[in-house]
Structure formats: structure tokens, C-alpha cells
């Protein structure tokens, strides 16, 4: 690994975007949210992309944009569906330390509102539980560090990530 970045992955609602900005401040890094990069590069909102190109089309766009991010010294909050993109995940693993924000199914259901309003990529007939079961093995596969977030506040989570990241010398 030649670049120093922290990449946050996990289910929608796990806290990637909110934790990411606080972590960036603590590490003295910049902050990038892949979802916003997608919106900037396409000139459309995420739900508009899903409407226009369908879920598969959105995943292709997400894969391509994340696979071509050129960043160093950033905390990168990804979108929850990025783990379906093989090229994206290979690239992100190359440019930094991948941190999985793990949240139990129970706490996730309490935190998330209407999934469709949130723009979650959900195949026809899929429940949140199906999605959780399908994705957890992917998050686990790509994680360099896993942080259990249940019942914990943001400051606490940021503290644990930065401690583990700095200890493992990922930043060199
Ligand atoms: N540790 C936490 N405890 C309680 N609420 C949290 C925590 N982390 C995030 N949240 C809340 O959960 C919601 C989803 O967070 P967000 O950062 O958008 O998640 P993601 O980017 O992973 O989808 C937000 O309303 C946020 O304030
Ligand atoms: O998990 C998903 O299917 C998605 C999560 C969203 O990001 P967050 O994980 O930040 O909510 C966003 O990328 C898109 O709407 C799809
Ligand atoms: Mg987010």
C-alpha cells in the first residue's frame, strides 16, 4: 500500500458518513464521501441515478467511480453497496486501510427509516434482512479492521478506529 487513506465500509446507516468526518478531523486527514463524488461526477442525485439506470446501472457507476478515486490522506466514506463492485474494492484496498463499521441487524432496523426513501439498492422482493445476510460476508471479506458499533457513540468509535489504524502503521 502506497497511499494513506482510511476507507469506511458497512451497511447503510452504520455511520460511515458521520463517523468519517469526525475521524478525518482527528487524524488530520481530508474527508471524501464517495456518494457525493458520484453525484458531482454525474450531475445527478443518487435516487435519480437509480431511477434512470436501475439498480444494476447504479452499481456499475458506483463501481467505476470508486475504482478510479485518486486520493491520499483521506478518510473515504463509501456507499453501502460499494462491496458489490470488485474493481472498486480491489482499488480501495490498494490505496488504504479498509475499516468495516459493523452494526447488528437489530440496531440497524432501529436506526434506518424507509429504505427506498434512503435510496438503498434493494432488489425486487428483498427485505432488509436478506440484504444484511447477503452483504455481511462481503464486508467481512474486504475488512482490514472491523469495529463493532452497537450501542456506542461516534467519539468512542472514532477513538477505536484511530487507535487501531495508527497502531498497525497503516499510514506509512
Ligand atoms: N454511533 C452512532 N450512534 C447513533 N446514531 C448514529 C451513530 N452513527 C451514525 N448515527 C446516525 O445514523 C444515521 C446514519 O448515519 P450515516 O453516517 O448517514 O450512515 P451511513 O453513511 O453509513 O449510511 C444518521 O442519522 C446518524 O446521525
Ligand atoms: O447501501 C446501499 O445500497 C446504498 C447506500 C447509500 O450510501 P450510505 O451507505 O452512505 O447510506 C448510497 O450509496 C446508495 O443510496 C446505495
Ligand atoms: Mg453515507
Complex confidence, ipTM = 0.98
User: C-alpha angle 56/141/69, rounded to 5°?
Assistant: 60
* Dist CA 76 CA 50 (whole Å): 22
123 vs 95: CA distance, rounded Å: 30
Closest ligand to C-alpha of residue 119 is 2
What would the pLDDT profile of 114-126 be if each residue is shown by its tens digit?
A: 666 777 888 888 8
**38 pLDDT exceeds 70?**
yes
The pLDDT, as a whole number, for residue 171 is: 62
Taking phi first (over 0 means left), then psi (-120 to 50 degrees means alpha), and beta for anything else, what does residue 114 get? beta
Are 144 and 94 in contact, with CB atoms under 8 Å apart?
no
Q: What is the 119 CA–ligand 2 centroid distance (Å)? A: 6
| Per-residue model confidence (pLDDT) at position 3 | 62
Go through the domains of the chain in sequence order and give each one's CATH number.
Answer: 5-167 (3.40.50.300)
- Cα gap 34→46, rounded to integer Å: 11
Binding residues for substrate: 35, 80, 135
Do the Cβ atoms of 20 and 36 come closer than 8 Å? no
35 in contact with ligand 2, CB cutoff 6 A: yes
Residues in Cβ contact with 16 at an 8 Å cutoff, skipping those fewer than 6 apart: 8, 9, 10, 77, 78, 80, 101
Confidence band of 2 (pLDDT split at 50, 70, 90): very low
Quick check: CB of 14 below 6 Å from ligand 1?
A: yes
Q: What's the CA-to-centroid distance between 106 and ligand 1, angstroms?
A: 15
- Kindly list the distances between the CA atom of residue 119 and the CA atoms of 88, 112, 172, in Å, as whole numbers in the listed order: 20, 11, 36
Amino acid at each position: 500500500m502506497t497511499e494513506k487513506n482510511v476507507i469506511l465500509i458497512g451497511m447503510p446507516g452504520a455511520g460511515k458518513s458521520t463517523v468519517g468526518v469526525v475521524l478525518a478531523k482527528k487524524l488530520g486527514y481530508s474527508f471524501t464521501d464517495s456518494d457525493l463524488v458520484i453525484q458531482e461526477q454525474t450531475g445527478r442525485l443518487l435516487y435519480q441515478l437509480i431511477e434512470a439506470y436501475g439498480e444494476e446501472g447504479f452499481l456499475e457507476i458506483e463501481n467505476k467511480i470508486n475504482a478510479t478515486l485518486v486520493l491520499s490522506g483521506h478518510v473515504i466514506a463509501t456507499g453501502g453497496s460499494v462491496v458489490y463492485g470488485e474493481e472498486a474494492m480491489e482499488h480501495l484496498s490498494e490505496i488504504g486501510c479498509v475499516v468495516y463499521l459493523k452494526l447488528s441487524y437489530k440496531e440497524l432496523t432501529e436506526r434506518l427509516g424507509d429504505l427506498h426513501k434512503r435510496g438503498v439498492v434493494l432488489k425486487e422482493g428483498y427485505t432488509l434482512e436478506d440484504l444484511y445476510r447477503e452483504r455481511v460476508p462481503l464486508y467481512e471479506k474486504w475488512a482490514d479492521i472491523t469495529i463493532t458499533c452497537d450501542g456506542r457513540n461516534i467519539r468512542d468509535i472514532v477513538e477505536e478506529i484511530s487507535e487501531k489504524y495508527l497502531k498497525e502503521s497503516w499510514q506509512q
